[in-house]
Amino acid sequence: AAQAAEEALRGRAAALSDQLVQAQREASAPVSRAVAELRRRVEADKESLRRLLLAVRAEREGGRVPELEERLRVTRAEAEALRQAVSAERAGAAERRAAAD
């Protein structure tokens, strides 16, 4: 009987050990995903910095930087679209307030 109880305890200890290992894996999964995301961001930032460095070098040498010029054009277009959307929203809000009065 004592041997059977000892074997049962060993089995229970092994099961608990397996559960602990599984719980540790599950707990570390979000951290692993976060680390992978940070690595991806660092790589993207490194690439952006590399492009910026090339652009600065080209600027120093008097060259044009078509990639930056295009990015600036797109940014200006996006800013104008946002200004128009804000204007339209404000006008709509003013109309709604006037209609409510």
CA distances from 51 to 59, 63, 72 (A): 12, 14, 14
Residue with tokens 């692993």: 32
Spatial separation of the C-alpha atoms in residues 81 and 4, rounded to whole Å: 77
Distance (Å, rounded) from C-alpha 21 to C-alpha 47?
38
Instruction: Please report the pLDDT score of residue 45 as a whole number.
Output: 87
What CA–CA distance (Å, rounded) separates 50 from 10? 58
In the chain, where are the structural domains located?
64-101
Distance, CA of 12 to CA of 9 (rounded, Å) = 5
Structure tokens at 33: 């995903």
pLDDT, position 80:
92
pTM: 0.39
- List the chain pLDDT tens, one digit each, 101 residues: 788 888 888 999 999 999 988 888 887 788 778 888 888 888 888 888 888 888 777 777 776 667 777 878 888 899 999 989 888 888 888 888 888 87
- As a dihedral over the C-alpha atoms of residue 74, residue 78, residue 80, residue 85, rounded to 10 degrees, the angle is 160
